[in-house]
Structure 1
Amino acid sequence: MALSITDLPALDNRRVKTSTADVLVDRVIPGEILVIAFGFVSWEARPDFDFYGRLRKLEQNSGRHINKILVRDSGNAWYHRRIDGLGAHPDETAEGLRALIREIRPSKVITIGQSMGAYAAVLYGLLLEVQQVLAFGPLSFLDPAQALLYHERRWLSVMRDLAANPPLSGYYDLQALGRIKAATLPDLHVIFGTKPGEEGAESVHLDAMHAHRLAAIGNCTLHPYPYSGHTVVQHLIDTKRINALLARIIMNLMLEEEAREVTADWHGWITENLRLGSPPEELVEILKHHGYSHDSSFAAVAGKTSVP
C-alpha cells in the first residue's frame, strides 16, 4: 500500500545528496507554504538538487515548517524534456506538479531556482499560477533566433537542440508566456548580477537584459547586484546575504544583518578613494553592495572622515 503524501518521512542531507530520483518531496504539513526548488545545470555530473539547505535554514530562522518539492533536470534541457516522476515535456511536468500541490494543500506556492533552475521557476510559476517566484540569473527565452539577435550564445547549443527536436510542448519565450498569463501573474522577483566580466565579457550584461525582459511581464521586482557575475547566488552566499534575502521575500521576515568587519584591504581602498575625492556616502553604499552591514560600512568610512 502506497504511503499518503502526508505520511512521507522528512528529507535529510544524505538523502538529498545521494538520491537517484529527479523529484523529492519533503515531509508535508498541509496549510504551510510550499516551495518548489529547481536545480541548476551541470555538465560534468548529474545536477544537484538546489536550495534544500537554505530552506532548512529559513525554517530555523522563522520557526515555521516549509513544504518542499525538489526537482532537477538530469538531461540539462531547461526542464523541457523528461523529468522522471513528473512528465516528458513541460505541460505534462506541470500537471505532475499540480497533482502534488493538490495533495499537499499548501497555503501558498513559491517556485525558486538559479540559472537553468531560474528559467524553470518562472516557467512553472506561470503555468501553475503560483503566488511567488524567485529567479536568480534567469534567461528569458530559449529561442535561438532571439539568442543570435541579442548575441546570447551561452547556452545556444541547448536552444538549437530543442528547436531541432522539439518536445510535445514547449515555452521558448517567458515574456510571451507572461502576456498570456497576465490575469494570474505571480509576485515575481528577479535577482541578477550586473558586473562586467573580464575583457568586456557579455554574460552579466545579458543577465540584465533578460531581467528587464521579464520585468516587462509586470508584477516584477528587480534585484540587481552590481558586484556579482552570473552566479549571483554564490555572490550572496560569499557576502552573507542569502539567508536574509530569502527570509525577507519568502517569509516577510527581517533578519539582522550578519556581522562582518571591514577588512584591512578595504580600509586601504577607502583611504585611497577618499584621497581621490569619492563621496563618503558613495563608498558606504559600495561596501554595503559587497555584503558589509550599514553600521560597519558607515563606521569604516566615518573613521577616516566625517560622513554627512
Structure 2
Amino acid sequence: MSLNLTDVPALDNRRVKTSAEDVLIDRVVPGEILVIAFGFVSWETRPEFDFFGRLKKLEQASGRHLNKILVRDSGNSWYHRSIAGLGAHPDDTVARLRALIAAIKPSKVVAIGQSMGAYAAVMFGLLLDVQQVIAFGPLSFLDVRQALLYNDRRWIAVMRALQQNPPASGYYDLAALRRDRAGGQTHLHIAFGTKPDQPNSTESVNLDAMHAHRLAAVGNCTLYPFPYSGHTVVQHLIDTKRLNALLAVIITGAELTPEPAAIAPALRAWLAESLKLGSTPVELIDILQQHGFSYDSSVAAVAGPHEHAAHDNTSGLTFTTIVV
C-alpha cells in the first residue's frame, strides 16, 4: 500500500484534546525519528492521547522535528480489539502501522506508552521490530491463569473478557512474544516503581517489578527501577523533573541539562523509612544520584530525616539502570 502523508497538517494541543478519532498523525518530515505513542486506560472517560505535549517539549529542547503517531484504545481492551482507523485486532493494527511507517520513512521508530499503553508499546514494538520501546509500568501478560498464579488481579476482568470472546488475533504473553522475536533489533526500556503495592508494607512486593523482570529475561533490555514510586511512574518522573531527560537520551540520544528538582515529601518519607530499616546514608545518596539528583541535594535529603549526614560517596552502584 502506498500512502502520501506529505500534506498531513501539524497537530496542536486543541486538536489532540478534542479529536473524536482513535489515531492522529502529526506533520511528517521523512527521515526524522518516528514516535508511536499509545494512550493509557481510562474507565470514567474516553482514554486520552498520551505524550504529545512531552514530545513537543523534546522537539524544542533538541531542535529537531519528531514524527508522531498518537493511538488510543477507546474500548480499554489493551489494544486487542477495534482501533478506529487502524484495525479490528492486533494483526490488523500491525499491518496498518507498518504501512504508515513505510510512508513516513523515518530514521528510527520508537514506541512509547504507560500502563495499558506500555503493553501496546511492547506488543506492537516487537511485532513491528522497531528500534526502541519505552514502557512505563507494563504488564507482561493478559492471561487469567498467569494472573492468578502471580496474584496480579488488577486487570483480571479485562483478561477474562478477552478469554471469553477472543479477537481474531491476540498476544497474551509478552515474555513469550519476546522469546519468539529474540533475533529482532528491538531494545526495551522499562521504567517501573518498586514501592510496595500494599500500604505500610516493609517488604518490596511490587507487581510491576515482577512484570519488568519477566520481560527483561530474554535480554536486550534496560530496566529503570524507581524505589519510591508505585505504578504511576510517569507522574513520579514528572514530579521529580526526570521525565524529559530520560526521554531525550533514549529517543534522540541528547543529554539535557538536569532540571532543578526539590526532594518531594514522598521521597523524604521513603528515605526516612529506609534509614529506619537499616540502609546506610551512603547507599541512599548513591541511589538518589543515579536518579538524577545532585550530590549536595542528595546528602541534604538523606540528612533531613536522620540525625547524621553521610559525606562519603565511594560505594559502588546499588540501584541504578540495569542492563540485562
TM-score (norm 1): 0.90
Evaluate the alpha carbon distance shift between residue 275 and residue 32 of structure 1 in structure 2; reply closer, same or farther with a 3 A threshold.
Answer: closer
Evaluate the alpha carbon distance shift between residue 144 and residue 18 of structure 1 in structure 2; reply closer, same or farther with a 3 A threshold.
Answer: same
- Give, in angstroms, the shift of residue 253 of structure 1: 1.3
Question: Which has the larger displacement, 264-273 or 205-214?
Answer: 264-273
Give unmatched runs, 5+ long, in structure 2. Answer: 313-324
Match of 2:191 in 1: 191
Identity among equivalent positions (%) equals 69
- Whichever residue aligns with residue 311 of structure 2, its letter is V
Note if contact 1:227-1:290 (Cα within 8 Å) is conserved in structure 2.
no
Note if contact 2:299-2:310 (Cα within 8 Å) is conserved in structure 1.
no
Match of 1:84 in 2: 84
- Whichever residue aligns with residue 247 of structure 1, its letter is A
- Give, in angstroms, the shift of residue 122 of structure 1: 0.3
- Whichever residue aligns with residue 165 of structure 1, its letter is N
Match of 2:44 in 1: 44
Note if contact 2:30-2:106 (Cα within 8 Å) is conserved in structure 1.
yes
Note if contact 2:240-2:263 (Cα within 8 Å) is conserved in structure 1.
no
- Give, in angstroms, the shift of residue 251 of structure 1: 1.4
Map 1:45-194 → 2, pairs under 5 A: 45-194=45-194
Note if contact 2:240-2:262 (Cα within 8 Å) is conserved in structure 1.
no
Note if contact 2:80-2:170 (Cα within 8 Å) is conserved in structure 1.
yes
Q: 1:157 & 1:65 partners in 2: Cα distance?
A: 40
**Aligned to 1:213, what secondary structure does the other structure show?**
helix
- Give, in angstroms, the shift of residue 286 of structure 1: 5.2
Map 1:221-300 → 2, pairs under 5 A: 221-261=222-262, 279-285=280-286, 287-288=288-289, 292-298=293-299
**1:227-267 Cα deviation digits (max 9, x unpaired):** 00001000100111000110111111111221135589989
Note if contact 2:195-2:204 (Cα within 8 Å) is conserved in structure 1.
no
**Aligned to 1:58, what secondary structure does the other structure show?**
helix
Evaluate the alpha carbon distance shift between residue 147 and residue 298 of structure 1 in structure 2; reply closer, same or farther with a 3 A threshold.
Answer: same
Q: Does 1:216 align with 2:217?
A: yes
- Give, in angstroms, the shift of residue 37 of structure 1: 0.2
Evaluate the alpha carbon distance shift between residue 302 and residue 73 of structure 1 in structure 2; reply closer, same or farther with a 3 A threshold.
Answer: closer
Match of 2:311 in 1: 307
**1:73-92 Cα deviation digits (max 9, x unpaired):** 00000000000000000000
Give unmatched runs, 5+ long, in structure 1. Answer: none
Question: Which has the larger displacement, 195-204 or 21-30?
Answer: 195-204
Evaluate the alpha carbon distance shift between residue 104 and residue 293 of structure 1 in structure 2; reply closer, same or farther with a 3 A threshold.
Answer: same
Q: 1:268 & 1:144 partners in 2: Cα distance?
A: 36
TM-score (norm 2): 0.86
Alignment coverage as a number of residue pairs: 306
- Give, in angstroms, the shift of residue 278 of structure 1: 6.1
Note if contact 1:34-1:108 (Cα within 8 Å) is conserved in structure 2.
yes
Evaluate the alpha carbon distance shift between residue 124 and residue 204 of structure 1 in structure 2; reply closer, same or farther with a 3 A threshold.
Answer: farther
**Aligned to 2:110, what secondary structure does the other structure show?**
strand
